[in-house]
Amino acid sequence: MKSKLQVCAVALSMGAAAVACLCAAPAWAQAVPDNGRETNAAAAGWPERAVRGAKGMVASDEQIASRVGVDILKKGGNAVDAAVAVSFALAVVEPAAGNIGGGGFTLVRLADGRAGFVDYREIAPGKASRDMYVRADGTLDEEGSTIGYRSVAVPGTVAGLELALKTYGTMKLADVMAPAIRLAEEGFPVSEKLARELEEERRDLQRFSWSGKIFLNDGKMYKPGDILRQPALAATLRRIAKNGSAEFYRGETARTLVQEMTGQGGLITLDDLVNYKPKIREVLRAKYRVGGDEWEVIAAPPPSSGGVAMIEALNMLQDTELKGWEDAESVHMTAEAMRRVFADRAAYLADPDFAKVPVQGLTDPCYAKELAATINPQHASSSQTVRAGIPHTCGTRAGGANSTSAAPPVIASFGEGPHTTHFSVVDAAGNAAATTTTLNDSYGSHVATSAGFLLNDEMDDFTTQPGVPNKLFGLIQSEANAIAPEKRPLSSMTPTILVRNGKLSFVTGSPGGPRIISATLLSVLNWMRLGMDAQAAINAPRFHHQWMPDALRVEPAFSEAVARELEARGHKVTQVGHIGLVNAIGIDPRTGERLGAADPRDHGAAEGY
Ligand code: DON
């Protein structure tokens, strides 16, 4: 490691604190002017500047949804009112990932400093069991957990959005749902992106009659510019707006869902729906000093693995001088941190209501220091020899070098292209919401109900077979994430909020399965450590390492020369499509303006005022 510094982090997680200090101003602490060096914007025709707004901002995958959020803000709604409105709007205009049949997380930080994490992750149905996707011959039924009725977990979105609104919002559910109802009823123009996606998903969508009817226009297919009306969804949204989440979990919608599941292999019962409970969880917090500024990272607790991974990686990189992603050593050190974080994820992360997750140890700076010491600054480690560590807090050193996590088998699959959606909201008062929501795969299980919405395939996020990578993301996961009734599958969704010198500074998050963690981490490093401006932090080329497979994935815009240098250091570099879709908002520290930085990789849009 190159650091000439003595740097210390203050990591606070779940109430535990450990303190350290920064003794000299590091080179990476200097704000780097946005000189375009870190962006690939020019080449791609991407925006080089963030959208500026004096008061409020929404950055999401869909311009229509971002506008819905801004309209709510202009009407006096706060960031959470807008976030709930945007979520429902995305359930209409971004059917690949926006949903009422899935789940998600909303991280909230209010202007007065209070924060909370709304967890509306799906749960396994009561009839689910550990080996439900393992065939009699011992092989994994990969289709079972990814497509069709058996892959569906009990949806959490409607209950979660209602809870978020009641806890942090100011408006009535009917008022924040009104724009979504209008979009479903009157329709909206099909974009090129949506038409292309529906064509790509045609084979799987046409297997389910309501999916074919709604999204494939009964086989006639939608072209760009066609109007997509969803009357069944509009009727369901109207009932929810009138009766609240009770409609979804015990009303007509619930009965329809259960009736359609029965006889098709689906496991969800009325009891499962009635018993679903979203939760407000304590956020994870970590503090850092960077170039004279005090930063606080507010992150997602389990059942997300994202916040733990984010803090563990940031802690590990504390003493590393980061120069940017044109510098092979900076990429190498960050990739090695990712490798170790994902090894720990595989061993320890799971639903905290079912497993004891060592959050304090994993996010402790002393533990990170030990892990960082195992990184060879010149040469790549091998994932076959990197195992999960033994997490512990300062002064409670555990013995032994490695945990009990098993040596992983070779993993062949790594999902490409599935979808989830992240959006960020900041209001005029400085309240912020970061929401990541998903059906898991693009179009989830591909099953739509006659009530007009798609159902998730979140069951694939469990350890579908211990020791075997899951179908969509090739992730090795532990017994702690095994399937059990009412358990939440482990998630990588990583909504994150940064505070600088006590003031809101950056709101971020991404889709991308495990790549979520890397994409969000890089956005945070770009903003906090490299001093990029908001849009540059989103445009900069990304890379991802998830321990297994032992591959360093890089985006097409990643520097060829750096890729070769990394290969010389022993990394197996492979090029993939885009890594994540980060829709973030930065706050200009001088003017307080909101800087909406949507991800141009797939037509994200920021709207502000
Ligand atoms: O919760 C998770 O980690 C996954 N279900 C997210 C899936 C995802 O991001 C797919 N997309 N890009």
Q: What are the structure tokens assigned to 79, written together?
A: 């960031």
What is residue 204's predicted lDDT score, i.e. its pLDDT? 98
Active site residue 420: yes
Average pLDDT over residues 527-555: 97
Angle at 467 between CA 465 and CA 470, to 5 degrees: 55
User: CA-CA distance, 536 to 54, in Å (whole number)?
Assistant: 20
Best mutation site among 120, 516, 518 for ligand 1 pocket (most ligand atoms within 8 Å of CB) = 516
Task: Find the length of the chain.
Answer: 609
pLDDT at 28: 24
Q: Do 481 and 305 touch, CB atoms closer than 8 A?
A: no
Which pLDDT value is given to residue 270? Answer: 98
Record the pTM: 0.92
Query: Which residue's C-alpha comes closest to atom 8 of ligand 1?
Result: 513
Instruction: Determine if ligand 1 sits within 6 Å of the CB of residue 104.
Output: no
- pLDDT given at position 21: 28
Q: Give the residue from 241, 295, 305, 343 showing the smallest Cα distance to 489.
A: 305
Q: Could you tell me the end-to-end alpha-carbon distance of the chain, in angstroms, rounded to an integer?
A: 44
Q: Give the residue, out of 416, 438, 473, 544, with the most ligand 1 atoms within 8 A of its beta carbon, to mutate for a pocket test.
A: 438
Instruction: Reply yes or no on whether the pLDDT at 239 is more than 50.
Output: yes
Closest residue by Cα to residue 487 from 304, 306, 355: 355
61: Cβ below 6 Å to ligand 1? Answer: no
Distance between CA 581 and CA 283 in Å, rounded? 23
Q: In whole angstroms, how large is the CA radius of gyration of the chain?
A: 22
φ, ψ dihedrals at 294, nearest 5°: -95, 120
Predicted local distance difference test score (pLDDT) of residue 477? 84
**Residue 120 corresponds to which amino acid?**
Y
Ligand 1 geometric centre to CA of 156 (Å): 15
pLDDT band of residue 417 (cuts 50, 70, 90) is: low
